[in-house]
Structure 1
Amino acid sequence: MAVSDLSPALRASASSRAHPKAKPGYGKRSVPKQHHDGEGDFTLLPDRERHIAGYVDALPEGAAMDIKSLAKSQPLYGQMAVGSALRALGVAGHLRHVRCLSGEGDQVRWVTRTFWSRTAHDNEWWTAFLVSEESPSVPSCASQEPLEADSPAEAPEPVSVPAQPPAPVVPQQRTAAQAPTPVHATGDPSPAFAALARLGRTDSRLALSAADCAALEETAAEWFARGVDAGYLTHALTAGLPASVDSPFGFVRRRLRDKLPPRLPATTSAARATPVRRLMMECTECGVPGRPEAFRDGLCRPCRESGPVV
């Protein structure tokens, strides 16, 4: 819900740490046609959200917007507080997380960006804006020049995928004869098994045993069969984790099913050579992707129904 401007906003205090830039093409992206006096836009927000909003607003284009980087670079709030503040700022209409394709033809990759608006906007405005980002008549994620530096927590590695509009993410039931079988080189684990085994090194909350990895290997292999790589899979499974995970196996199994990317149909060489513009919004709370119109206040339906995290 948009809020009215009343008085100058409280600006975030400076941090002794330099805020990192995101990987090329990722990070903060300001919406166009904003006024630049910085007055009044965050006045009605609570103190924590007002502080984080002021800090984010002062960051340059392409700054890392993952929770870990924001918590490390400003002095007042830790990761849980920053995550809750970003959720509240999404509900207030100041930001949307999106996943979009950057590149042309076969050389395209999914990039994660946070569109930021100093002025709060309602759901209809954000939906129209994000739909316009996919329009061939305007510059989009695919046509913008990459930005600088690096933020590993926010950016999966490039992945080659066919250039077609994303289909709805619908888990498919397979028979035993249809299920994909992971291929192992002699003595080496499959890419799916290796990616699952490395989850615990990326975040200890998702540490899996060898038996867990073997049980989930086939499901993870389906992700690879749909054109993603280990970096994309790791990012999807570790984004927006709760403070503690009681059952890493059950948590990863649920995310492997719920976040399964769409299967992209084969295309002709001519179609693949044409620059494409595709964009999916990400839930500010759990990171699940979808079409902009499927979200309200930057949140998917389950996260809206579960209520705010303080």
Structure 2
Amino acid sequence: MATEHLSPALRAPASSRPYAKARPGYGKRTAAAQRTPRPDDFALMPECERYIAGYVDRLPDGAAMDIKSLAKSLPLYGQMAVSSALKALGVAGHLRRVRCQTGDGDQVRWVSRTYWSRTARDNEWWHAFLTTEDSEPTPVAVPVPAPAPPSAEAAPHAPATPSPRPLAPQPAAEPEPTPQPTAAAPARVPQQRPPAAAPAVPSPAYLALAQLGRTEPRLALSAADCQALEPLAAEWFARGVDATYLTRALTAGIPAQVDSPIGFVRRRLTDKLPPHVVGSPAPAAAATPGRRLLAECTECGRPGAPEALPDGLCRPCRTHAPDTASTTPTPSAERDVHALVSQLRDLTRLP
């Protein structure tokens, strides 16, 4: 006989409200060197900041950190209170908002992130941390080496290469009993043929001249013309000019009919040679920018360098809200109210 258990089973705890997740690349990021959480974390802060800081500290990486999402998840405080609390946490050294450039090639976009630190950090630590995050190298795909060709032992069905084994026995009447010259002939054939020369990579100057005819048909150049004008065009590239600038300089304001394209282009390459700018940065360095990271003001979201936003605030936000107690004018005790009223009455009288 089965015995009925009278004690009810424990109910499963109610599932907590799921965190609002940010879009890929956005949201919360935990800073490095974090200690384990303790009950007295944020104990010295006011009640609102302590409540919001404890909630943000429990959020996982990638959670939404915008004001609307936090206010929607916190029933006790609205958006104004959340905004003020985030500003106070930024001044206390617990968070920094940044804009980070992600992507590669043409697929580049700016994302907003919020770095959170359970331990309050000073401005020097945040500056060093954000500088380190900015200088992180972009992951580069490691090329996979090509597989080695299978050997004769690994591929028994592959065609066998000439081996030093003796050939089949020849008849006794053969005048040359040893087939050594015949076996050695295939080895000398590759040595007699000259190696195939690798195709020369055209220079940027040559490519710009070759593409000139596609941009302007009146200046179409042949291969021999491009080789003859390549040194003159290379001088332009040596002075920091790119192919777009060179093409515009050569095709601007050309006559309706060009009898000699090579002579016209040679004259313009000589007469319109750009000046040499001393100390100009190399164009290759400007063409390959590194990963960029900008800090954001916690109050207004204005971007800037990390060292230009101490306490996570820009200069206008630091000076926008001065102490009201020190700026509110207080009426002087020695002021004569009756004399002031008499002066106002005299001003309102008609002449």
**TM-score (ref. length: structure 2):** 0.45
| Deviation readout 1:138-195 (Å, 9 max, x if unpaired) | 36xx66xxxxxxxxxxxxxxxxxxxxxxxxxxxxxxxxxxxxxxxxxxxxxxxxxxxx
What are structure 1's unaligned runs of at least 5 residues? 1-13, 144-266
Take 2:64 and 2:85, find their aligned partners in 1: how far apart are those partners?
Answer: 16
Take 1:98 and 1:15, find their aligned partners in 2: how far apart are those partners?
Answer: 33
1:95 maps onto 2:109 in alignment: no
**Pair 1:16–1:37, CA change in 2 (3 A):** closer
1:299 pairs with one of 295, 306, 313: 313
| 1:128-167 alignment, distance < 5 Å | 128-135=128-135, 138=136
Q: Counterpart of 2:126 in structure 1: which amino acid?
A: W
Contact kept? 1:95, 1:115, Cα under 8 Å: yes
SS in 2 for 1:304: helix
- Could you say which residue in structure 1 is the equivalent of 2:300? 286
**TM-score (ref. length: structure 1):** 0.50
Q: State the number of aligned residues.
A: 169
SS in 1 for 2:310: coil
- Which structure's CA Rg is the greater one? 2
Post-superposition shift, 1:96? 0.4
SS in 2 for 1:28: strand
- Could you say which residue in structure 2 is the equivalent of 1:19? 19
Post-superposition shift, 1:79? 0.4
Q: Counterpart of 2:125 in structure 1: which amino acid?
A: W
**Pair 1:302–1:59, CA change in 2 (3 A):** same
| 1:1-310 alignment, distance < 5 Å | 17-135=17-135, 138=136, 276-307=290-321
When you count helix as a share of all residues, which structure comes out higher?
2
Post-superposition shift, 1:41? 3.0
- Could you say which residue in structure 2 is the equivalent of 1:185? none
Percent of aligned positions with the same letter in both sequences?
68
What are structure 2's unaligned runs of at least 5 residues? 1-13, 140-281, 324-351
**Pair 1:270–1:296, CA change in 2 (3 A):** closer
**Pair 1:79–1:16, CA change in 2 (3 A):** farther
Take 1:33 and 1:21, find their aligned partners in 2: how far apart are those partners?
Answer: 24
Take 1:303 and 1:15, find their aligned partners in 2: how far apart are those partners?
Answer: 40
- Could you say which residue in structure 2 is the equivalent of 1:238? none
Take 1:116 and 1:17, find their aligned partners in 2: how far apart are those partners?
Answer: 21
Take 2:72 and 2:293, find their aligned partners in 1: how far apart are those partners?
Answer: 29
Take 2:106 and 2:286, find their aligned partners in 1: how far apart are those partners?
Answer: 10
Q: Counterpart of 2:62 in structure 1: which amino acid?
A: G
Cα RMSD (Å) of the superposition?
A: 2.7
**Pair 1:275–1:39, CA change in 2 (3 A):** farther
Post-superposition shift, 1:108? 1.1
Q: Counterpart of 2:78 in structure 1: which amino acid?
A: G
**Pair 1:86–1:69, CA change in 2 (3 A):** same
Take 2:57 and 2:39, find their aligned partners in 1: how far apart are those partners?
Answer: 12
Q: Counterpart of 1:291 in structure 2: which amino acid?
A: A
SS in 2 for 1:297: helix
SS in 2 for 1:42: coil
Post-superposition shift, 1:43? 1.1
